[in-house]
């Protein structure tokens, strides 16, 4: 199946300034079949590598791999620091010139349209446009077949699948479905990382809150113990120091006061008697003596009355009661203030503990909610599944087209011996006959090589609008004479440019025998 009529791309000239064994060497490539014949060490593989390098560049591998990579393998034999070449080709009816310098010091590349002198940009993808999206991987799996490398790898399967999904889904092969899937996978990895970070953050927060909860809980228990001790101390003080009005008056205290009143009454009577006696003894010599004696007696009776009224033990208590009350009052206040402080702290700790408990409950509840990040991940996974499903369905339809094209080619190059080739999406291949389905592993090496060739040519026909040159480097080693005749005849019918490298003369002999035009280099 051809998407639209394309214009043949052709390589016109190879100028190996300094590449491998060649220095200042030019090869002209004509339309049709071009044969490079030579014994081993002629340089056929060098020219093959030069064409690939001019289209896609060459990079030196790193580390130990650099000893055996393509860059090192084709370094100039003389003057390795000068590693360069030029290739002229046509594309879309215009002539172009690409020049490259491969060495590390003077590495450069330029692309010029020789028709109008316009310099194009490799960095901005102008060469990619001319090559119709052909990549180095596609080159190795389709139009270019190196020595003993006829079997395409799984990268071709991926490219075919991707192309099928692109073209049949959107009508535009420039839309890269595989790239879209890769982008979604990258986004999914980023979202997964974000989810892990959120989980770790939540666990860290949970651990911190639980730790704080334990601290506050221990403080609360400690304060409650302090509250109990303060209340107990206050109760003991209340019991040991009752109020004054509750203190009973002892009976002996009431008795002493009566005796004091009696003594005072006796004193009044005695003073009256003493006064009368002093009046009677006014002129007596005993009057002064009696006066002194009566005063002493009155003083003694008065002192005795006071003693009876306030006993010694009660008097001491009354004298000391004011100081004790004054000392007890600040202590009671201090106890009350301390108890109030403890209760305020208990209330504060309890509120804080309740808040921490609520935060833990919220964290537990949030574990069952679908967060915005989870929704984003679900959307990405759904998009991937949808694209993959659609792609798979589309590839099935595309596979039939590829199988039809490959079957046409295998029928032509086997001269009708095998008419149908089936290729699945993993590039597993079977030949279908009227009797059975034959896995290619059960076929001869020559037939397997023909199947690989048919697959490559069918792939390039459906993948690209441009009719690229076919580059073959000792590709037909396992072909017998008849197989070789059939494939050369088919190549002539395709109207493509063919660059054929061989170390055998039989390709030339068959071309001459079949009267197929070709050009020798």
The three-state (H, E, C) secondary structure of 329-351, written as one string: HHHHHHHHHHHHHHHHHHHHHHH
Task: Tell me what pLDDT residue 500 has.
Answer: 95
Give the pTM: 0.57
Provide the CB-side half-sphere exposure for 81 (13 A, CA).
Answer: 2
Kind and range of the H or E element at 12?
strand 10-19
Exposure string of 73-99, with b = 16+ CB inside 10 Å and e = fewer, is: ebbbeeeeebbbbbbbbbbeeeebbbb
What does the alpha-carbon distance between residue 475 and residue 449 come to, in Å, rounded to a whole number?
A: 9
- The residues spanned by each domain of the chain are 1-134+465-521, 243-310
Beta strands in 332-473 (DSSP E): 420-423, 429-432, 437-439, 470-473
What does the alpha-carbon distance between residue 372 and residue 339 come to, in Å, rounded to a whole number?
A: 50
Q: Which CATH class is domain 1-134+465-521?
A: alpha beta
Residue 367: other Cβ atoms inside 10 A: 10
What does the alpha-carbon distance between residue 37 and residue 521 come to, in Å, rounded to a whole number?
A: 7
DSSP code, position 285: T
> What is the chain's length?
521
**CA-based angle 362:367:370, to the nearest 5?**
110
What does the alpha-carbon distance between residue 477 and residue 508 come to, in Å, rounded to a whole number?
A: 14
What does the alpha-carbon distance between residue 448 and residue 398 come to, in Å, rounded to a whole number?
A: 23
Residue 247's alpha-carbon distances to 237, 244, 250, 431, in angstroms, are: 16, 5, 9, 124
Place of tokens 């509840």: 365
Non-local CB neighbours of 378 within 8 Å, separated by 6+ positions? 370
Beta carbons of 411 and 138 less than 8 angstroms apart? no
What does the alpha-carbon distance between residue 483 and residue 458 come to, in Å, rounded to a whole number?
A: 18
User: Which residues, in sequence order, are bridge partners of residue 99?
Assistant: 86, 110
What does the alpha-carbon distance between residue 285 and residue 83 come to, in Å, rounded to a whole number?
A: 167
* 105: Cα separation from own chain's centroid: 39
* pLDDT in single tens digits along all 521 residues of the chain: 333 344 589 999 999 999 999 999 999 999 999 999 988 878 898 999 999 999 999 887 776 666 668 888 888 888 878 899 999 999 988 999 999 999 888 889 999 999 999 999 998 989 999 998 888 888 988 899 877 667 775 666 666 656 555 544 444 444 455 666 677 777 777 777 777 887 888 888 888 888 988 988 888 888 888 888 887 876 766 655 555 444 444 444 454 666 667 766 777 777 777 676 666 666 666 667 766 677 677 777 666 666 655 555 554 444 444 555 555 567 778 878 888 888 888 888 899 889 888 888 887 776 544 466 676 777 777 766 666 655 555 445 556 778 889 999 999 999 888 889 888 767 778 888 777 888 888 888 889 889 889 988 988 888 888 889 999 998 998 899 999 999 999 999 988 999 999 998 999 999 999 999 999 98
Task: Tell me what pLDDT residue 34 has.
Answer: 96
Kind and range of the H or E element at 90?
strand 84-91
Nearest Cα neighbor of 420 from 451, 453, 459, 462 is: 451
Task: Tell me what pLDDT residue 313 has.
Answer: 53
DSSP code, position 67: G
């Amino acid at each position: 199946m051809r998407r639209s009529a394309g214009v043949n791309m052709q390589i016109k000239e190879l100028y190996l300034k300094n590449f491998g064994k060649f220095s200042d060497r030019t090869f002209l490539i004509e339309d049709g079949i071009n044969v490079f014949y030579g014994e081993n060490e002629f340089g056929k593989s060098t020219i093959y590598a030069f064409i690939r390098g001019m289209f896609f560049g060459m990079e030196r591998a790193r580390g130990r791999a650099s000893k055996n990579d393509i860059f090192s393998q084709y370094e100039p034999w003389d003057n390795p620091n000068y590693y360069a070449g030029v290739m002229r080709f046509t594309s879309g009816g215009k002539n172009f010139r690409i020049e490259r310098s491969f060495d590390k010091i003077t590495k450069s590349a330029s692309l010029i349209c020789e028709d109008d002198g316009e310099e194009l940009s490799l960095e901005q993808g102008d060469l990619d446009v001319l090559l119709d999206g052909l990549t180095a991987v596609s080159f190795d799996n389709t139009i270019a077949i190196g020595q003993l490398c006829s079997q395409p790898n799984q990268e071709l399967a991926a490219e075919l699948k991707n192309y099928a999904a692109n073209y049949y889904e959107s009508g535009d092969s420039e839309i890269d479905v595989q790239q879209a899937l890769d982008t979604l996978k990258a986004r999914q990895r980023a979202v997964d990382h974000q989810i892990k970070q959120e989980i770790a953050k939540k666990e860290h927060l949970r651990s911190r809150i639980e730790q704080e909860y334990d601290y506050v809980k221990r403080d609360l228990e400690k304060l409650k113990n302090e509250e109990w001790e303060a209340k107990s101390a206050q109760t003991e003080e209340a019991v040991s120091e009752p109020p004054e009005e509750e203190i009973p008056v002892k009976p002996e205290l009431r008795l002493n006061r009566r005796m004091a009143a009696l003594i005072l009454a006796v004193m009044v009577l005695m003073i009256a008697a003493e006064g009368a006696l002093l009046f009677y003894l006014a002129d007596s010599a005993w009057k002064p003596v009696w006066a002194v004696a009566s005063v002493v007696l009155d003083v003694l009776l008065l002192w005795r009355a006071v003693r009876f009224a306030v006993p010694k033990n009660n008097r001491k208590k009354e004298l000391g009661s004011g100081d004790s009350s004054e000392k007890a009052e600040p202590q009671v206040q201090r106890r009350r203030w301390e108890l109030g402080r403890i209760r305020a702290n208990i209330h504060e700790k309890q509120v804080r503990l309740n808040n921490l408990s609520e935060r833990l409950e919220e964290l537990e509840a949030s574990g069952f909610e679908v967060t915005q990040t989870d929704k984003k991940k679900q959307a990405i996974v759904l998009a991937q599944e949808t694209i993959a499903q659609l792609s798979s369905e589309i590839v099935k339809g595309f596979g039939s087209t590829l199988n039809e094209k490959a079957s046409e080619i295998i029928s032509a190059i086997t001269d009708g011996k095998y008419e149908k080739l089936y290729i699945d999406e993993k590039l597993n291949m079977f030949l279908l006959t009227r009797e059975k389905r034959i896995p290619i592993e059960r076929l001869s090496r020559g037939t397997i090589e023909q199947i690989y060739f048919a697959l490559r040519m069918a792939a390039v026909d459906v993948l690209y609008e441009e009719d690229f040159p076919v580059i073959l480097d000792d590709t037909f080693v396992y072909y017998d004479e008849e197989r070789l005749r059939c494939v050369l005849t088919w190549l002539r019918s395709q109207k493509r440019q063919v660059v054929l490298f061989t170390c055998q003369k039989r390709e030339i002999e068959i071309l001459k025998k079949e009267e197929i035009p070709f050009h020798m280099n």
